[in-house]
Amino acid sequence: MKNLSVVILAAGEGTRMKSAKPKVLHGLAGTPLVRWVLSAVRQLKPESIHLVVGHGAAEVRKELSADGIVFVEQKQRLGSGHALRRAAKHLLNFRGDVLVLCADTPLIRPETLRRLIAFHRKEKNAATVLSGCFSNPFGYGRIVRSPSGQVKCITEEKDATPEQKLITEINSGIYCFASPPIWNAVSRIGNMNAKREYYLTDAIAILDAGGRKVGAYSGVTPEEILGINDRINLAAAEEIVRSRVLARHMADGVTIPAPQHTHVMPGAKIGRDTVLYPGTVIESGTVIGSNCRIGPYTLVRDSRIGDNAEISFSCLTGAVVGDGVRVGPYAHLRPGAVLRKGARVGNFSEVKKSVVGEGSKVNHLSYIGDAYLGRGVNIGAGTITCNFDGVNKNKTFIGDRTFVGSNVNLVAPIKIGADTVLAAGSTFTENVPGGSLGIARSRQIHKVRKKVTDRQDEQDSVG
């Protein structure tokens, strides 16, 4: 939008969060609260975004340093009016509209903000409050209007008269102000109240008293303005986000039999006819193909999964899984794991920074790290690629169609040729040529145990 600037208030301490972390950096569906608000306002394409920081300012700056934001510091946190006053020096000469909102209301929708601004401009208001009519307005500031509909003031719950408490139109805490008129009003806000703070809501009454046109756009839902003040609020917001995301995926053809027990974060992509079973968590950055079976009790983080894959009771992080691959139960795919078409990684196996070739199998109780497995390789139970020598991570190469017996140790760097059989219980420290049978274990010998012989002699003498 042309001639629009944004001010986001993010200076509060958030004492009810009981945390050393600034409230606005707490995660909602894996993303800091302030980034949710930034994402919403960026869709409006404003000319500038100003973020008022205070508590934990250094941490907030570090998190958002690459985001092209103008940081405004509120060293003394003396209320929302004081916070906007701190931003005034950056916008005194700005001619347009200033959208003001809080960093702890992450669920506000961009389309709601667009409608607020459009209404504000159509009515040629000096100030427009985003409001909503709620059946239970308890706890919210009430919008007090004149008989003509002009907004006279905003009265907080604790200050409202019995008649004002019957008003159902509430203040969302989101405003659109005309600049420069707002800056004169903000400079006149007083602090004659119990907290000795400067409340932004007072600017509404000041503008009205000065003959400015003040309105309210009633178009917000309770969930959109849910403020995150404690971890109970955070959990409630998480549930709303989860429901929104799952509803979108189900509408697009994904089957989720138990949505109350399934969590898909925003940004994940899932193909049609895929089923997500209970206990599944899909994090942002993950792409899942069509007709897959994911879960139950599976975590997929920043991974790519092809079509027709099956993954159960497993953890995937930074993995690439091809078409028709089967993973689990209880497998762990770490960053750099690549499973090609039709591969299989089974129970209690771990793959890290390795390629498991097409049709190859790591069925159980094995560790494959820094390795390349060709096509049709079979890894027996208990196989380990010994990739770390204390200083370097070394590579293991296993050729096509090689059969590795159970309990084999491959001490890298090592290369095993194609069409090879490695005998169970072997430890290989040297390359094995293709087409051979590799045996690397000591000869089995049997010796008589002296204690057993002596005990047998004692038993014979007693008898």
Q: CA 384 from chain center: how many Å?
A: 34
Question: Which residues sit opposite 143 in a β-bridge?
Answer: 154
Is the per-residue pLDDT at 295 higher than 90?
Answer: yes
DSSP secondary structure code for residue 407 in this structure = T
- Per-residue pLDDT of 65-122, as tens digits, reads 888 899 999 999 899 999 999 999 999 999 999 999 999 999 999 999 999 999 999 9
Residue 65 has what DSSP assignment? T
Closest CA to 318 of 271, 353, 279: 353
Considering the candidates 82, 90, 364, 446, report the single residue annotated as catalytic: 364
What SS3 state is found at 275? strand
Cα separations (Å) of 252 from 116, 273, 275, 289? 30, 9, 12, 13
Q: Model confidence over 229-270: pLDDT tens digits?
A: 999 999 999 999 999 999 999 999 999 999 999 999 999 999
**Residues whose CB is less than 8 angstroms from the CB of residue 452 and which lie 6 or more positions away in sequence, other chains included:** none
pLDDT above 70: residue 289: yes
What is the Cα–Cα distance from 252 to 399, expressed in whole angstroms? 42
Neighbouring C-alpha atoms within 13 Å toward the C-beta of 140: 25
pLDDT at 452: 62
In angstroms, rounded to a whole number, what is the distance separating the alpha carbons of residues 302 and 151? 49
pLDDT at 206 over 80: yes
- The span from the CA of 323 to the CA of 86, in Å, is 56
pLDDT for residue 365: 97
State the average pLDDT for the chain: 95
Distance of alpha carbon 190 from alpha carbon 50, whole angstroms? 23
Q: Is 55 tagged catalytic?
A: no
- C-alpha 176/C-alpha 128 separation (Å) is 5
Residues with Cβ within 8 Å of residue 221, at least 6 apart in sequence: 132
Query: Sorting pLDDT into bands at 50, 70 and 90, what band is 451?
Result: confident
Closest by Cα among 154, 167, 155, 156 to 127: 154
**pTM of this structure:** 0.86
Q: Rounded CA gap, 59 and 145, in Å?
A: 41
Give the pLDDT score at 462.
Answer: 64
User: Which domains, ranges and CATH numbers included, belong to the chain?
Assistant: 4-225 (3.90.550.10), 252-438 (2.160.10.10)
User: Would you call the peptide bond into 278 cis, given omega within 30 degrees of 0 as the criterion?
Assistant: no
User: Could you tell me if 103 and 24 are in contact, meaning their C-beta atoms sit under 8 angstroms apart?
Assistant: yes
